[in-house]
Structure 1
Amino acid sequence: MTQHAQQSVAAADLPERGQPLAGGTFVTRYWLNGEERALVLLDNELTGAWGEYGQDVTGAKSYSDGAANTRAMAEAGSDLAAKVLELDAHIPSHLEAALLMSAKADGVITLREDRWHWLSTQYSAYYAFDMDFEGGWVDCYGKGNERLVRPVRSLPIQ
């Protein structure tokens, strides 16, 4: 895995929303597991299957922790998750995708509206959540099918 130089950010060093941070665009501040964090959207776009249809990935059921979900996906054999982790990033969780949609609606970031995007949150052994960033629709889709991913980083705020 490629190590990204910036592992955290000081609160005083946070840019305005929509400005560059940690190799991407600063989206928003949020709380995850009792820690305030900065969500950063990368410009990379990857396409692939979420994972194996019918495989239950028990560690990928968090609605909030996309990094934990993505690691569990990679450990279960997801090529897409492994590629995202190589960027020192993760696939957005259900919560992180909602924050991305909110930032898009506020004009802070741009996301493709012509493709559905995978989320790292598993729905079942057969389906995972995906989101349409045109209207913010969340659905679930067969894990073996291809979807787009826009990786994110989540940095602790010091």
Structure 2
Amino acid sequence: MTQHAQQSVAAADLPERGQPLAGGTFVTRYWLNGEERALVLLDNELIGTWGKYGEDVAGAKSLSDGAANTRAMAEAGSDIAIKALELDAHIPSYLEGALLMAAKAEGLITLRDDRWHWLSSQYSANTAYGMGFEAGWLYDLVKDLERLVRPVRSLPIQ
């Protein structure tokens, strides 16, 4: 796995939302598992399937923890999850996808709105959540269809 230099960020060093941070664009501050974090959207665009239709990935059911979901997806053999982890990043969760949509609506980031994007939160053995960033549609999509992924980083704020 490729490591980027920045593993956390001091609150005083956070840029304005929409500005560069940790190899991407700072989206927002949010709380995850009792810790305040900075969400960073990378410019990389991945394309692939979420996983195998009919395969339940027990560790990928969090609606908030995209990093944990992505690790579980990778362990189950998901190519896009493996690629995201190689970037020292993860596939956004349901919550992180909603935060990305809010930032897009505020004009802070740019996301393609001509295709559905995978989120890392699994809905069922057959489907996982995806988001259409044109209008912020959230839907459960069949896992073995190719969709886009915009990886994110989530840095602890010190």
Q: TM-score range by the shorter chain?
A: over 0.9
Query: 2:40, 2:134 → 1: CA distance?
Result: 20
1:65-144 aligned within 5 A: 65-144=65-144
User: 3-state DSSP class of the match of 1:68?
Assistant: helix
User: 3-state DSSP class of the match of 2:107?
Assistant: coil
Instruction: Indicate whether 1:155 and 2:152 are aligned.
Output: no
Cα deviation digits, residues 71-125 of structure 1 (max 9, x gap): 0000011111000100000000000000000000011101101010000000000
Q: Which amino acid aligns with 1:154?
A: S
Q: TM-score, normalised by structure 2?
A: 0.99
Tell me the equivalent position of 2:27: 27
Q: Which amino acid aligns with 1:15?
A: P
Q: Which amino acid aligns with 2:144?
A: G
1:23-62 aligned within 5 A: 23-62=23-62
Cα deviation digits, residues 26-81 of structure 1 (max 9, x gap): 00000000000000000000000000111000000000000000000000111110
Query: 2:28, 2:80 → 1: CA distance?
Result: 25
CA RMSD of aligned residues (A): 0.4
User: 3-state DSSP class of the match of 1:73?
Assistant: helix
Q: TM-score, normalised by structure 1?
A: 0.99
Q: Which amino acid aligns with 2:35?
A: E
Query: 1:57, 1:109 → 2: CA distance?
Result: 30
- Once the two structures are TM-superposed, the CA of residue 17 in structure 1 deviates from its matched residue by 0.3
- Once the two structures are TM-superposed, the CA of residue 4 in structure 1 deviates from its matched residue by 1.2
